[in-house]
Structure 1
Amino acid sequence: MSAATVSAPSQTFRTVFVLGILSAIGSLSIDMYLPALPSIARELNTTDAAAQFSLASFFIGLGLGQLLHGPLADRYGRKRPLYAGLALYTLASAGCALASNIETLIVSRFIQAVGGCACFVIARAMARDLFDTATVARVLSRMTLIMGAAPILAPLIGGQVLMFVGWRWIFWGLTVFGAMCFGMAVYWLPETRQAAKQARNWLTTAWHNYGALLRDREFMGNALAGGVSQAGMFAYITGSPFVFINLYGVDPAHYGWLFGLNACGIIGGSQINAYLLRTRRPADVLRRTNNLVAILGLLMLAVAALGLGGLIGLMVPLFAFVTSLGFSQPNAIAEALNRQHQRAGAASALLGALQFLAAASAGAAVGLLHARSAVPMAAVMAVCGVLSWAFHTLLIRRARPALPPAAGAA
């Protein structure tokens, strides 16, 4: 049972806005400092590879931290673990700004990620506490409107900060952002789950909950389908700088505009998804989207392999693929969290960890398959699309009969 409900439209808007801001903390923390990596390497007298490992350490922290925060949020309520995570994130951001060597920066980035990932784990769990499944999918679509702005604005902001005051002020800005998020969580978010009254400690409970979730075909089908389709996005992020700039000759100054165009596609798709969910069930939209993602991935691979249409020929299926994530991600998350009432925190954490593992694997695959063509990026994205369809088909559609359509469904 939730500890609080959100009823008034203004309160609902405020809650969704804050949850969206919290969910964007990972993108801001990654994308804002990407333009600064060469400057960091020079100032800290280290190699480019060592500077890039500060990004890898952040990803590792995201993957491990989610598995920690989910059970804590189920055991101790949502807000106390959120406060702890935000406090850790804020302090670690200041540590990054003050780092005098690359080792300190790498460790601080890891701690920053462990604290920051509490935000999107608990944001998803809070949404599940407050709303039913269909409403959760709509809420997540609205949150994507805020989250989707981060990949567009963060590199631009980071580049301007780097130009005028240096890379350390990027992390001072994240420190201030963390403190602001802490204040918004205190004053604007309700506690949606009280601390559990149970004899077992949280580690035992976490082990039990994660085991139950891994055996749950419906949860795993939705989590894996959403995770591998999202991994296609990371394959695009990893491969697109080489494909756009080196292969097709796009000016590096214009790369951000192409990246932003696809980010707009995700935002637009998520808002159309919110409209569709007024008359359709999330499971129905997800099933059709998974079919489309598989087809688009294979189409993009064919275009890349045959060299059809140059950059524009590749951009059309690529844009459609990325836009489809605005439909698949909110619905996959909502369906995965459905029925996970008492372990929504653990479910949100495992969902995020699976998505991160799939994303890291896709990015690594693009790097290992590196070639002077767009085929490696397109091939990994195609595999992600087909796997998303396969997981959803094998684990869910064959696990239980289809439910009757929702009232008023078109």
Structure 2
Amino acid sequence: MNFRILLILGALSAFGPMAIDFYLPSFPMLAQAFGTDVEHVQLSLSAYFAGLAIGQLLYGPLADRFGRRLPLLLGVSIFTLASVACAFAPSLEWLIGARFVQALGGCAGMVISRAVVRDLCDPISAAKAFSQLMLVMGLAPILAPLAGGMLLSLSGWRSIFYCLTVFSALAGLAIALWLPETIPSGPRPPLRGAGRQYLALFADRSFLTYALTGGVAIAGMFSYIAGSPFVFIELYGVPPEHYGWIFGSNAAGFILMAQVNARLLRYRGPGFWLRRAVWVYFACGALLLAITLARPAELWPLLVPLFGCIACLGFLLPNASACAMASQGRHAGSASALMGSLQFSVAAAASALVGALHDGTALPMAVVITVCGLVAALLGWASGQITGRSA
């Protein structure tokens, strides 16, 4: 896979992190602007996750039937228009609705980028490519909160959505000019068979277990995303413009571990490393919960296990994706869509749960992350039983 295609796919994969992380520092300001509280503002994040979960199911069959380019251009166009609507939102309800539509567009890049990797790579190469994509898209969680905090202090929260509009328009131009069609030649599945294909994927125990392992891990990450603005900014008094530095340091651990993973794949397959990383993830979550229960007066004791949890995702996400997609062939678009939908359905529920359990402490975030770590570890163990540890 050449560097230009990898860069475009990285930008498409970054739509999710950009649209999520860019506006996280603005939660307190949005609450003030719309005369509400941070817990209600978090509904705009949950709406985005719900849009990702629903929209991905639409793009999978479209990508398998009509190719990769046309659905991509459609999705990016929707994202661009919805970003404009977010920027001009007169109320929180408007913003929540526009964020849902924004997600319906943005998920095209997330679904189809995985399908393009499957089109061009074998399983080991795919795991390496996904790890490299983590490097490209991993810059988004580092730069987005930093840029969001700066824009917030300089121009207000609406400027964040203006920047998302420009970013998506440039991504659409890059697709039109430089991304070739990668779907294999030959007959393509009809749209009317999409339901049967999804049912067949649900019956595939190996696919489902790997997809859910990644999904529960992502749910833990988005619990952190949903809870960290309150914990960092309001509970521990971190200035909004400094929030991005903490968030970015965790994202840097994620990027670093993804690159370590790419090198370790020379020696063992993605399933081997996945089944070990899930237990480290759970251990970091359990440590986070124990420290949170001690109610430290300073933030830094929480940051150590949080860093470990997010860094582990550099192993979990590329390997889970590669294992789930390995045997999907011509149905890579549908498989990618169902995997993404499952993952973000769990993520939406987890982020909403953090808000629902809000009690003025860091405990809801820590509990949800720990539970996600435990479930991911059990699913990772189950994947070894199903595949015979051959992957």
Same fold (TM over 0.5): yes
Instruction: Tell me the residue number matched to 1:180.
Output: 170
Q: Matched residues in 2 for 1:123 and 1:102: separation?
A: 31
Alignment of 1:202-351 (within 5 A): 202=191, 204-306=192-294, 311-351=299-339
Task: State the secondary structure of the residue aligned to 1:343.
Answer: helix
Q: 1:398 to 1:39 in 2, by over 3 A?
A: closer
Q: Is the 8 A contact 1:74 1:195 kept in 2?
A: no
CA distance in 1, matches of 2:29, 2:241: 17
Q: In the alignment, which residue of structure 2 is the partner of 1:147?
A: 137
Aligned position for 2:128: 138
1:9 matched residue in structure 2: none
Q: 2:386 aligned with 1:399, yes or no?
A: yes
User: Structure 1 residues 375, 132: CA separation in 2 closer, same or farther (over 3 Å shift)?
Assistant: same
Change beyond 3 A, Cα 1:50–1:287: closer
Q: How many Å apart are 1:249 and its aligned residue? A: 4.8
In 2, Cα distance between equivalents of 1:46 and 1:373: 22
Partner Cα distance (2:168, 2:205) in 1: 37
- 2:73 matches 1:73: no
Question: In the aligned structure 1, how far is the partner of 2:234 from the partner of 2:30?
Answer: 24
Indicate conservation of the 8 Å contact 1:269/1:327, yes or no. Answer: yes
Supply the distance in 2 between the matched residues of 1:313 and 1:172 (Cα, whole angstroms). 36
- Relative to structure 1, is the Cα distance of residues 261 and 72 closer, same or farther in structure 2, using a 3 angstrom cutoff? same
- Which residue of structure 2 lines up, in the alignment, with residue 15 of structure 1? 5
Aligned to 1:91: 81
The alpha-carbon distance between structure 1 residues 109 and 241, as it changes in their structure 2 partners (threshold 3 A), is closer
Distance between the aligned counterparts of 2:354 and 2:158, measured in 1? Answer: 31
In the alignment, the residues of structure 1 paired with residue 257 and residue 11 of structure 2 have an alpha-carbon distance, to the nearest angstrom, of 19
State the secondary structure of the residue aligned to 1:398: helix
Q: Distance in 1 between matches of 2:190 and 2:43?
A: 35
Per the alignment, residue 408 of structure 1 pairs with: none
Instruction: Deviation per CA, 1:100-140: give whole Å up to 9, x if none.
Output: 55554443332221111101110011011111111111111
Aligned to 2:159: 169
Query: Which digits, 9 at most, give the CA deviation of each residue in 1:345-379, with x for residues without a partner?
Result: 11111111111122122223333333454433222
TM-superposed deviation, 1:323: 0.6
Partner of 1:60: 50
Superposed CA deviations along residues 13-64 of structure 1, whole A, max 9, x for unmatched, are 1111110011101221223234445655666x66457655444432222121
Contact 1:77 1:195 survives alignment (8 Å): no
Distance change >3 Å, CA 240–CA 93, structure 1 → 2: closer
* Residue in structure 2 matched with residue 116 of structure 1 by the alignment: 106
Give 1:262 shift.
0.9
Given that 1:46 and 1:102 are in contact with CA atoms closer than 8 Å, whether structure 2 keeps it comes out as: no
Which segment is superposed worse, 153-162 or 175-184? 153-162
Write the letter of the residue equivalent to 1:221. T
Gaps of 5+ in 2: none
CA distance in 2, matches of 1:252, 1:163: 9
TM-score by length of 1: 0.86
Amino acid at match of 1:295: A
User: Deviations for 1:173-230, whole angstroms, at most 9, x for unmatched residues?
Assistant: 22222221111112221211158746x741x321111101111111011111111112
Give the 3-state SS of the residue equivalent to 1:402 in structure 2: coil
Count of residues in correspondence between the two structures: 390
Instruction: Classify 1:41/1:289 alpha carbon distance in 2 versus 1 (closer, same or farther; 3 Å).
Output: closer
Contact map agreement 2:24 2:229 (CA 8 A) in 1: no
| 1:279 alignment partner, SS class | coil
CA separation in 2, counterparts of 1:182 and 1:257? 29
> Which segments of 5 or more consecutive residues in structure 1 lack a partner in the other structure?
1-5, 7-11, 406-410
Do the aligned residues in 2 keep the contact of 1:76 with 1:194 (CA within 8 Å)? Answer: no
Contact in 1 for aligned 2:220/2:373 (Cα 8 Å): yes
Q: Distance in 2 between matches of 1:402 and 1:110?
A: 39
For the 8 Å contact 1:75–1:195, the answer to whether it is kept is no
- TM-score normalised by length of structure 2: 0.90
Mapped to 2, the partners of 1:252 and 1:166 lie a distance apart of: 12
Give the C-alpha shift of residue 245 in structure 1: 4.3
Q: Which amino acid aligns with 2:270?
A: P
* Equivalent residue letter for 1:216: D
Distance 2:270 2:78 in 1: 35
| Residue number in structure 2 paired with 1:3 | none
Give the superposition deviation at 1:71: 1.1
Code of the aligned partner of 2:50: I
Residues 258 and 169 (structure 1), Cα distance of their counterparts in 2 relative to 1, 3 Å cut: closer
Q: Distance in 1 between matches of 2:173 and 2:272?
A: 38
Cα pair 2:18 2:144 within 8 Å, conserved = yes
- Structure of larger gyration radius: 1
